């Protein structure tokens, strides 16, 4: 298979090099002196005068044609002079053919209103759900490439929490989740870092601290006019899209004034609270005789994203690593509120050349405020540990762009100047751990069976649960600030041509320059309170040292006890509890009692963050230098150019061929440790700055063929090359070595890889679609991707010496004399493969008789498979008899292995079903999303692979229109109140065991929507 694929690629390159110059030469002979004119106009719905996006317009008997844009507008140039027939078609509507005559040099404006089709020819009003589906169907059909669409009407109909949830309704899309809502899109088994996400073609900057992924939960779908998911990219699109490309669409202001206001309140099952709300408003209008368009939108949402979770730990060394037993139970409750807000302003101006210039500024922000309560029950140690982490996180995304579409000197010119910025940071992140010793001193879980494999809930029965004896054990304060700013300038030039009535096309060329500045800064301070770290003094900003002042605080009593007995240097857990502490039942079976008081926890840190001894030589909070291992300051520059030719052979065949070239040049500044970091209980060492560079030039050929043999069948073929740049921390000149005191002195080495290559993929796509007024749109797709230089992170592999480091062609050496855990990125030496199938069917029954005409149905399913090569390690055990009478004893040796696995974050099967019904003023939709289990990460020894369990979710959306302007709306998310699970897979011994169960609960909202 691999040999055949390589030969086919070589043949494709040779054919491509022959065909492209021939096609380009033809363009120079297209300015033939025939008489020609132009057509333009707007296609609308006859019933409500709404513009129809994706309507097809063809000049009968020629290869000339186009489709309408988001505003229903179209334009056809180089129309042969004389009598012509123009065909207007839109799936779900009756086709209309108009005869007219056009003179040489004449421009005819022809506005057409299409009528919805019905079974008896009566006038039909397409309902909101059907309109959204029809719009999506026609947009997909009109494209020359493989695309899926969520229309604006459909966005408004679905009960989705954010843009990621809306994209998750499309075929080929699975989702990763955070806080009970989707935040990342996984397309065809490839995680979000292999996606290109744009707004109106302007790339959005990444929000992940280390990777190239974008947290789409920060973006409200209410601000969008549509979502386009490109499964296959053309040369005029950014190439860093191995998985595909998502374009979030806004449109120019329509002619008629629009005002939509929505206000909803909500209920959350986990917290039994009505504290949720969702407010949004959108306004648009045109002024000065349609010259200026103005749009403004805003949203303010508060969602409760609390969750309950249990985590189960195992001893997997039972019977010489062949079996397991439960040895640990964690109870976890996260009390979270998520505030999302956004604001956008769009101004557009119609220019004298029939073009448009659009100035857009959009801001989205998500603030997470969450307190994690955790209680750990170990089977073999004499303690229960309480851990509390109080965090605030903010993600801001700003996109500013000036976009133009103009017609000058016979060329269509599209240009963009943009500036985008994202910032993800934690304004506050404090963690404190409390230690509850055994009352009897004989082991906290004394008497508990040692071979327990199920029923972890009995752990709590063997615990003393005497929180009165618990005291603070240690504490952390962390900061992290990650920012990404990108400037882009881009221009595209398009020239249409006609060789004859049967052959026409367009030649398109352009260039792009982007420059990205990205920083990541992480710090961590640590206080080992269990070792008497509390200090009675504090250091002021001017360097002076004074007594701490606890008067009037929650901890005044603690301080008075300390003054009477200075050996009493740490507070009890009771000092952090409210007078009547709250408790929480977790997953219906586990009681977390009591819960900590958040205000007291925050005050403790504020009172002690600058603690020190009287001489100022021993701080209460020590700086941990290992936290800076992934700090960086990066500048990335990408220069790209392309040439693309689109040829239409009649109205049945369209070929798009071209190539794109991208040159990347990056500069990296980061920290490293010149020597091994060590020390107990806090690592001590020094760090320095270092720098490195990387550059690479990549050529990306591209061919698409669209065949439409009948008026109900479309076949799309694509073969193209795309790329994926490594995560931001992978190419750093990093070197950090230390011994981790919290894991028994484990030796650790973290390396960067400045030689890491960009991944390149050959993509092959086949899509077949059947469409019509009754069948809607039914599509079947198959895809195959071969990815060379796929990058992976070797995370904590057990090794020794420098053999593994040298095999990766790195110039590092290990400072550890014994075995250690190595973390390093690398390019896979063998190609990785992703392949799969998708089906998608969208249909509405407006043509059916009686009540059946109100049904709207869509469903899709995807099967995805993959194969990639990973480096791993295997520990071999041999038994050696030492002739000492004690019998054979085990001896362990580590060897490097190579394994073949699926890619991470890739479910085998996933899909959606959505069933809607409209009657009178009522509209209801029930939808199901399902995805199978998938591997989140692989372990080097294949004994502890992490799996995300299968997930199914049912949502319900209900609306009732009271008047033409007023509507009551209601959404129920996670209707079945399901639990989510994670598992651990031991591939060597062939078992899977549950490691986590969590529940986010049902959420419900209810409100009104006003449309003017």
> How does DSSP classify residue 903?
P
388-397, 716-725, 981-990: segment of lowest average pLDDT: 981-990
Q: Closest Cα partner for 217 from 273, 176, 261?
A: 176
CA distance 682 to 436: 22
User: Comparing C-alpha atoms, which of 900, 908, 769, 779 is closest to residue 835?
Assistant: 908
Cis peptide before 681 (omega within 30 of 0): yes
Q: Phi, psi (5° rounding) for residue 39?
A: -120, 145
- Per the model's pLDDT, the better-predicted residue between 536 and 964 turns out to be 536
pLDDT computed for residue 601 by the predictor: 96
Q: Does residue 118 carry a pLDDT above 70?
A: no
613-622 per-residue burial string, b: 16 or more CB within 10 A, e: under 16: eeeeeebbbb
Q: Which two tokens stand for residue 533?
A: 């770290």
What average pLDDT does this structure show over 235-263? 89
Rounded to whole angstroms, how far apart are CA atoms 309 and 370? Answer: 15
Which of the residue ranges 26-35, 278-287, 678-687, 936-945 would you say has the lowest mean pLDDT? 26-35
Of 368-377, 644-653, 868-877, 988-997, which gets the smallest average pLDDT? 868-877
Determine the length of the chain: 1012
Rounded to an integer, what is the distance from CA 898 to the centroid of its chain?
30
Tokens of 728: 């931001």
Pick left, alpha or beta for residue 563 (phi over 0 → left; psi -120 to 50 → alpha; otherwise beta): alpha
CA separation for the pair 386, 105 (Å, rounded): 81
Return the minimum-mean-pLDDT range out of 10-24, 547-561, 825-839.
Answer: 10-24
pLDDT surpassing 80 at residue 370: yes
Q: How many CB atoms lie within 10 A of CB 898?
A: 11
Residues 6+ apart with CB under 8 A from 267: 273, 274, 276, 1003, 1004, 1005
Phi-psi category of residue 557: left, alpha or beta, with phi > 0 → left and psi -120 to 50 → alpha? alpha
pLDDT for res 535: 92
Q: Chain-wide mean pLDDT for the chain?
A: 86
440-484 confidence digits (pLDDT tens):
544 455 667 777 888 887 777 777 677 778 889 999 999 999 999
Residue with tokens 């206080």: 527
Q: What is the pLDDT of residue 645?
A: 96
Q: Which run of H or E residues covers position 262?
A: strand 258-268
Q: What is the largest CA-CA distance in the chain?
A: 109
Q: What is the mean pLDDT of residues 206-213?
A: 87
Distances (CA, A) of 649 to 61, 320, 916: 11, 69, 40
Q: In this structure, are strands 855-880 and 181-187 parallel, antiparallel, or unpaired?
A: unpaired
DSSP H or E stretch at residue 164: helix 163-167
Q: Give 563's pLDDT tier (boundaries 50, 70, 90).
A: confident
**Residue 444: predicted pLDDT:** 55
Residue 162, CA atoms < 13 Å, CB-side half-sphere: 28
Please state, in angstroms and rounded to a whole number, the distance separating the CA atoms of residues 438 and 440: 6
Nearest Cα residue to 235 out of 637, 504, 511, 647: 511
Task: Determine the Cα–Cα distance for residues 209 and 7; give it in Å rounded to an integer.
Answer: 40
- pLDDT greater than 60 at residue 8: no
Burial class (CB in 10 A: 0-12, 13-18, 19+), 847: middle
Report the share of the chain in percent with pLDDT over 70: 90
Residues 45, 116 contacting (CB under 8 angstroms) = yes
Q: If you average pLDDT over residues 222-247, what whole number do you get?
A: 88
pLDDT at 295 over 90: yes
Distances (CA, A) of 137 to 52, 223, 431, 598, 660: 11, 21, 50, 51, 29
Q: Give the model's pLDDT for residue 71.
A: 79
Inform me whether the pLDDT recorded for 884 exceeds 80. no
β-pair partners for 762: 721, 786
């Amino acid at each position: 298979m691999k040999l055949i694929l390589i030969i086919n690629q070589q043949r494709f390159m040779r054919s491509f090099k022959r065909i492209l110059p021939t096609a380009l030469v033809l363009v120079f002979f297209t300015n033939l002196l025939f008489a020609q004119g132009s057509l333009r106009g707007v296609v609308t719905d006859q019933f409500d005068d709404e513009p129809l996006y994706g309507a097809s317009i063809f000049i009968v008997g020629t290869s000339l044609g186009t489709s309408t844009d988001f505003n229903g507008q179209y334009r056809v140039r180089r129309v042969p002079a004389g009598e012509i027939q123009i065909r207007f078609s839109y799936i779900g509507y009756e086709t209309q053919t108009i005869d007219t005559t056009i003179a040489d040099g004449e421009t005819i404006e022809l506005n057409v209103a299409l009528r919805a089709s019905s079974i008896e020819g009566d006038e039909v009003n397409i309902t909101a759900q059907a309109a959204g589906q029809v719009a999506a169907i026609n947009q997909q059909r009109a494209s020359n490439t493989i695309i899926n669409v969520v229309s604006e009407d459909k966005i408004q109909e679905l009960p989705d929490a954010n843009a990621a949830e809306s994209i998750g309704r499309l075929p080929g899309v699975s989702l990763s989740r955070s806080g009970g809502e989707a935040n990342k899109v996984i397309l065809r088994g490839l995680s979000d870092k292999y996606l290109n996400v744009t707004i109106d073609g302007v790339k959005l900057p990444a929000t992940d601290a280390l990777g190239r992924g974008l947290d789409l939960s920060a973006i409200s779908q209410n601000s969008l006019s549509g979502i386009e998911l490109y499964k296959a990219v053309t040369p005029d699109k950014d190439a860093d899209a191995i998985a595909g490309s998502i374009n979030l669409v806004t449109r120019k202001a329509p002619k008629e004034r629009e005002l939509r206001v929505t206000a909803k309140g909500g209920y959350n099952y986990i917290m039994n609270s009505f504290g949720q709300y969702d407010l949004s408003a959108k306004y648009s209008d045109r002024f000065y005789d349609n010259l200026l368009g103005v749009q403004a939108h805003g949203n303010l949402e508060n969602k409760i994203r609390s969750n309950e979770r249990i985590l189960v730990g195992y001893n997997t060394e039972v019977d010489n690593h062949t079996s397991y037993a439960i040895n640990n139970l964690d109870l976890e409750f996260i009390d979270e509120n998520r505030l999302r807000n956004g604001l956008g302003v769009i101004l557009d101006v119609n220019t004298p050349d029939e073009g448009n210039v659009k100035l857009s500024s959009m801001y989205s922000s998500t603030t997470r405020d969450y307190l994690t309560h955790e209680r750990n029950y170990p089977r073999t140690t004499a303690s229960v540990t309480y851990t509390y982490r109080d965090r605030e996180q903010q993600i801001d995304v700003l996109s500013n762009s000036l976009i133009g579409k103009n017609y000058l000197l016979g060329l269509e010119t599209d240009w963009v100047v943009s500036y985008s910025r994202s910032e993800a940071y934690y304004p506050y992140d404090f963690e404190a751990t409390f230690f509850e010793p055994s009352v009897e001193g004989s082991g906290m879980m004394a008497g508990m069976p040692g071979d327990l494999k199920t029923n972890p809930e009995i752990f709590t029965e063997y615990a003393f649960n005497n929180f009165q004896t618990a005291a603070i054990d240690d504490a952390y304060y962390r900061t992290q600030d990650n920012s990404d700013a990108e400037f882009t300038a881009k221009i595209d030039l398009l020239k249409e041509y006609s060789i004859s009535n049967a052959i026409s096309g367009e030649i398109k060329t352009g260039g792009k320059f982007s420059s990205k500045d990205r920083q990541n800064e992480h710090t961590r301070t640590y206080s080992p309170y269990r070792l008497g770290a509390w200090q009675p003094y504090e250091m002021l900003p001017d360097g002076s040292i004074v007594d701490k002042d606890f008067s009037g605080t929650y901890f005044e009593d603690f301080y008075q006890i300390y003054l009477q007995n200075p050996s009493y240097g740490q507070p009890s857990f009771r000092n952090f509890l409210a007078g009547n502490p709250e408790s929480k039942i977790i997953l219906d079976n586990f009681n977390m009692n009591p819960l900590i008081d958040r205000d007291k926890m925050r005050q403790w840190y504020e009172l002690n963050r600058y603690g020190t001894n009287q001489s100022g030589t021993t701080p209460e909070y020590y700086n941990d230098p290992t936290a800076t291992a992934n700090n960086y300051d990066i500048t990335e520059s990408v220069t790209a150019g392309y040439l693309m030719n689109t040829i239409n052979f009649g109205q049945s065949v369209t070929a798009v061929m071209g190539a794109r070239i991208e040159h990347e040049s990056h500069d990296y500044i980061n920290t490293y440790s010149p020597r091994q970091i060590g020390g107990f209980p806090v690592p001590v060492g020094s760090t320095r700055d270092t720098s490195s560079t990387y550059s690479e030039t990549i050529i990306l050929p591209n061919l698409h063929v669209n065949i439409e043999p009948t008026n109900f069948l479309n076949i799309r073929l694509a073969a193209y090359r795309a790329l994926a740049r490594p995560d931001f921390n992978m190419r750093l000149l990093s070197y950090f070595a230390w011994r981790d005191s919290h894991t028994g002195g484990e030796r650790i080495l973290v390396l960067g890889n400045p030689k890491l290559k960009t991944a390149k993929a050959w993509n092959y796509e086949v899509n077949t679609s059947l469409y019509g007024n009754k069948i809607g749109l039914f599509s079947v797709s198959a895809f195959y991707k071969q990815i060379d230089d796929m990058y992976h992170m070797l995370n904590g592999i057990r090794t020794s010496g420098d053999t593994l480091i040298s095999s990766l062609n790195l110039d590092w050496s290990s400072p550890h004399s014994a075995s250690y855990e190595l973390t390093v990125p690398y390019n896979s030496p063998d190609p990785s493969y992703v392949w799969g199938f998708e089906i998608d069917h969208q249909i509405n029954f407006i043509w059916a008789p009686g009540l059946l005409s109100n049904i709207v149905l869509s469903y899709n399913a995807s099967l995805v498979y993959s194969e990639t090569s990973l480096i791993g390690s295997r520990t071999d055990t041999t038994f050696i008899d030492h002739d000492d009478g004690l019998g054979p004893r085990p001896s362990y040796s580590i060897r490097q292995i190579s394994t073949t696995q699926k890619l991470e974050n890739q479910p085998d099967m996933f899909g959606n079903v959505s069933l809607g019904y409209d009657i009178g003023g009522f509209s209801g939709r029930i939808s199901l999303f399902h995805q199978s289990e998938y591997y989140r990460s692989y372990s080097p020894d294949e004994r502890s692979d992490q799996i995300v369990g299968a997930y199914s979710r049912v949502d319900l959306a209900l609306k009732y229109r009271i008047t033409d302007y007023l509507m009551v709306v209601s959404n129920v998310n996670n209707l079945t109140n399901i639990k989510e699970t994670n598992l651990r897979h031991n591939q060597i011994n062939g078992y899977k065991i549950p490691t986590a169960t969590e529940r986010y609960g049902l959420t419900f909202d209810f409100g009104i929507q006003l449309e003017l």
